[in-house]
């Protein structure tokens, strides 16, 4: 699976819907560490439709009110705002796509999750404390190196998933659509990750 944080499949927006094709925009340039406090934002992300017949969109979290004419096609990718119902019976188990529109968890696969953070990322490649690490653009193309032990302000964390919903990579957003890889997971075991640095939150 080709890894992507920002550039994912573009899905057509259904007429009259509030569904949003996956996309994220940042506007703050990468900068050295600061300690300004910001309010934490809700976790968001992207999902891919995997059900062969597509995913019916519902107007309620119990999935009793299907929205006529709103079936998202297989392999299309959409922005999601939160998962619900996993620990909250009798609600359904699914994802909120915004505008009181919901899909069943069984019909989708998580592509990315992201949430706002405020803190400091320190470059410190595991077992190689003198190594630099790579700064990527939104298409995961290398831009330049970040020196060992340098510190950078981070604004969001992204988790990228592969086949079967397996963790693949985690990245920090350093602003202006620039990203540094925090960790890669060769297996689903979170202890197996290869870390490129450390993050310390500066929020209260």
- Identify whether 186 is part of a domain: yes
Query: What SS3 string covers 138-162?
Result: CCCCEEEEECCCCEEEEEEEEEEEC
Residue 180's contacts (CB-CB under 8 Å, 6 or more residues apart) are 121, 123, 133, 134, 135, 136, 146, 152, 154, 171, 172, 174, 196, 197
- Identify whether 183 is part of a domain: yes
- Identify whether 90 is part of a domain: no
pTM of the model: 0.65
Local confidence pLDDT in tens for the 204 residues of the chain: 444 444 332 333 333 334 443 333 333 344 444 322 222 234 688 999 999 999 999 999 999 999 999 999 999 999 998 888 766 555 678 889 999 999 998 999 988 888 889 999 999 999 999 999 999 998 889 999 999 999 999 999 988 887 766 778 999 999 999 999 999 887 766 677 889 999 999 976
For 9, 11, 61, 181, the CA distances from 159, given in Å and listed in that order, are 17, 21, 25, 10
- Identify whether 179 is part of a domain: yes
Domain that holds residue 192: 116-201
- Identify whether 132 is part of a domain: yes
- Identify whether 1 is part of a domain: no
Give the count of domains, the chain. 1
CATH at 126: 2.30.30
- Identify whether 134 is part of a domain: yes
């Amino acid at each position: 699976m080709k890894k992507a944080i920002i550039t994912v499949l573009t899905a057509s927006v259904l007429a009259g819907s509030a569904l949003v094709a996956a996309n994220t925009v940042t506007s703050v340039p990468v900068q050295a560490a600061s300690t300004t406090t910001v309010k934490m934002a809700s976790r968001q992300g992207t999902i891919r439709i995997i059900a062969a017949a597509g995913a019916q969109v519902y107007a309620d979290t119990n999935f009793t009110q299907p929205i006529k004419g709103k079936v998202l096609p297989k392999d299309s990718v959409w922005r999601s705002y939160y998962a619900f119902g996993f620990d909250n019976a009798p609600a359904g188990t699914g994802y909120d796509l915004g505008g009181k529109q919901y899909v069943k968890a069984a019909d989708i696969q998580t592509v990315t999750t992201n949430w706002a953070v405020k803190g400091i990322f320190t470059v410190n490649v595991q077992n190689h404390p003198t190594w630099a690490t790579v700064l990527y653009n939104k298409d995961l193309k290398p831009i330049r190196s970040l020196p060992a032990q340098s510190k950078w302000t981070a604004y969001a964390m992204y988790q990228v998933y592969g086949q079967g919903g397996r963790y693949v990579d985690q990245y920090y957003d350093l602003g202006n659509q620039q990203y540094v890889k925090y960790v890669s997971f060769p297996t689903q075991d979170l202890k197996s990750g290869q870390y490129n640095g450390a993050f310390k939150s500066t929020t209260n």
